[in-house]
Amino acid sequence: MLVPFCAGYYLSYLLRTVNAVISPTLTQELGLDAADLGLLTSTYFFAFAMAQLPMGIALDRYGPRRVEVILLALAAVGAALFALGHTLVQLALARALIGLGVAACLMAGLKAFAQWYAQERQAALTGLIMAAGAIGAVTASVPVEWALERMGWRGIFLAAAAACAAVALWIFAAVPERPAALHTAGLRAQLRGLADVLRSRSFWTFAPQSALFTGGFMALQSLWVVPWLMEVESLSRGSAAGMLLAVSVGMLAGQLGIALLGLRLERAGVTPVRLMQVGLGLALAVEGLLLAGGGDQAVLWGVWGVASAAGTQMYVALARHFPVSHYGRVTTAINLMAFVGAFGVQWGFGALVDGLRGAFGGAAAFRAAFGTVLALQLGAWLWMLRGTCSRRAPSS
């Protein structure tokens, strides 16, 4: 059951990040400005975010196998329509359908793992499926640059459509149905459970971190890293794709480290919350160096990827405050915050660059946008520290 869900999340992350490399080609062919490009790419995040809460109810009610198969079929249709699109509206709608179609790729896997595996193994299993996503991000860098020159962006999306359909069939054939003991109550009771999640203090402790770190990382990695490097650092698209590869390899290394060491760290008392506190603090420091233009760029981007991997432990950290029967609603609720953040950061970044470019120049506009993201993330990190440390204090 692990490998088919990992394959689905691999495709989800590949389709999420692919626009970072093909964006210069899309800009040239369609005559887009930065705000248009941000809107086109972020429709994925918007549709993904809007699907989260109803999808959480569906996962808890119908199980991860059925939900994942249906949505991946929609992703295949969306990728095919993107390959055939010719206008901004057509491409934006197709990308939104892709976002809807891959909306369950991670959450369905996490729900299945929660049903079938012990709690102490959840951090490691989360690291494994996140590593599959990181491989998708790696594929969306230099390999996509190579494929773009040989088959064009339309060919890339036709191949992605076929892959989504194939993984949907694989999950249908290979993944078992959920255990009978975990069948849930009626829809009204599930809605009450969702309301309990959204009202909880635990949820709002992690919500800003989810929006601005996890969402911010997705927004930058999936679009703005390459334009930043081309505009601020004056790199070619090929060199910028190489830096994006460093980010993705770093994220892969971070997730694999969590997967391999997660059980050992858990038994040593290093909880998912502690991993987030330390890792995201390091990510802030690296972003400050990138903004200042100091240090070796390839190393810094790689370390940023490693450190940012810690943010995904929010799914495990938050879920521990709720029963397994609520897992779909818990993880999709916090994931909603991540994708709302990704949509806002991705579109807002482009709008800020457009607004400041005329007065200050492209490089300064990009620096101002990046600095704004960094300031917001610092506030979210301090908020998470305050909430998690104050919660531990009474029990110590």
Q: Highest mean pLDDT: which of 116-130, 148-162, 171-185, 261-275? A: 148-162
- Residue 241 has a pLDDT of 80
Residue 178 has what pLDDT? 65
The mean pLDDT value for 130-137 works out to 85
- What's the pLDDT band for 182 if we cut at 50, 70, 90? very low
pLDDT at 221: 83
Mean pLDDT of 67-77: 96
Give the pLDDT mean for 51-55: 88
* Burial class of residue 178 in the structure, from the number of CB atoms within 10 Å of its CB (0-12 exposed, 13-18 middle, 19+ buried): buried
Round the average pLDDT of the chain to a whole number and report it: 86
How crowded is residue 154: how many other Cβ atoms within 10 Å of its Cβ? 12
Q: Which residue has the higher pLDDT, 272 or 169?
A: 169
pLDDT in tens, 55-70: 888 888 888 999 999 9
More confident residue, 387 or 7: 7
Q: Which residues contact 90 (CB under 8 A, 6 or more apart)?
A: 81
What region does 234 belong to: left with phi over 0, alpha with psi -120 to 50, or beta? Answer: left
pLDDT given for residue 205 in this prediction:
93
Distance CA 139, CA 59 (A): 29
What is the band of 393 on the pLDDT scale with cuts at 50, 70, 90?
Answer: very low
Indicate if the pLDDT at residue 262 is higher than 80.
no
Residues present in the chain in total? 396
Q: What is the pLDDT of residue 161?
A: 96
Q: By percentage, how much of the chain surpasses pLDDT 70?
A: 96
CB 328 within 8 A of CB 107: yes
Q: What pLDDT does residue 368 have?
A: 95
Domain map (residue ranges) of the chain? 2-176+196-386
CA distances from 250 to 105, 106, 201, 278 (A): 22, 20, 32, 16
Structure tokens at 82: 């993107």
pLDDT category of residue 179 using cuts at 50, 70 and 90: low
- pLDDT surpassing 70 at residue 394: no
Helices (H) and strands (E) in the chain, counts: 18, 0
* Mean predicted confidence (pLDDT) in 182-203: 79
- pLDDT value at position 184? 53
Structural contact between residues 76 and 101, judged by C-beta atoms closer than 8 angstroms? yes
Question: Does the domain spanning 2-176+196-386 belong to CATH 3.30.70.3270?
Answer: no
Is 160 a residue whose pLDDT tops 90?
yes
pLDDT confidence bin for 282, thresholds 50/70/90: very high
Q: 15 or 393: whose pLDDT is higher?
A: 15
> Which tokens belong to 101?
């179609």
d(CA 310, CA 386): 18
**Predicted pLDDT of residue 390:** 59
Closest-CA residue to 128 (of 332, 277, 329, 312)? 312
Whether the predicted pLDDT of 151 surpasses 80: yes
- For residue range 18-50, what is the model confidence (pLDDT) as tens digits? 877 888 888 888 777 777 777 787 788 888 888
